Amino acid sequence: MFTGIITDIGEVLEVEQRGDLRARIATGYDVDGIDIGASIACDGVCLTVVALGRAPRGWFEVEISAETLSRTNIGRNGWAPGRRLNLERALRVGDELGGHIVSGHVDGVAEVIDLAEEGDSIRVTLRAPEDLARFIAPKGSVALNGTSLTVNEVSGREFGINLIPHTRQVTTWGAVRKGDAVNLEIDTLARYVARLREWDG
């Protein structure tokens, strides 16, 4: 489990197809404190560490299945060397829950359709996949590329979020562009509420 609070920005160093896709990712984390088999959310995708190294800088490797490629922006955009990724290590008992509960299981891909400056912040409008739009509510939470964000408004499949300067500095959101494909994980609570309503209906 994760919180959607990004703690590092990684960089893809290498990508290789070995049955599944395998990626090497540079990180500022102390790799001596990462175990093989640990979970790290990479742009919101929970991936398992399968190898570690320290030269020329700290890195870890992950394997990415065809199922993950089909549901995330990894398959749509591809990961190429130089791509920057939002990273978050798995939540530990006793950690501060600063965002919201995030599983790292991406539900689908949203598209950035508009950007507008509002004071020092940027308002981002996105379009959700049709089957996920009903789970997104004003003042609810979503994880976008692994970042816990609050929904400002919803209109059909479109919804808006606000990016403050701090968020843009400590995540990859500082480079957001119109047309970007973004990993979307809906709030777990919204999923269960919708399921309960189906049963009540």
Domains and CATH numbers, the chain: 8-89 (2.40.30.20), 108-200 (2.40.30.20)
Cβ atoms of 25 and 11 closer than 8 Å:
yes
In this prediction the pTM is 0.93
pLDDT tens profile 146-165: 999 999 999 999 999 999 99
pLDDT tens profile 74-104: 987 778 999 999 999 998 776 777 778 899 9
First-residue to last-residue Cα distance in the chain: 31
Residue 89 β-bridge partners:
40
Q: Given this model, what pLDDT does residue 33 score?
A: 95
Cβ atoms of 113 and 158 closer than 8 Å:
yes
* Radius of gyration over every alpha carbon of the chain, rounded to an integer in angstroms: 17
d(CA 55, CA 131): 44
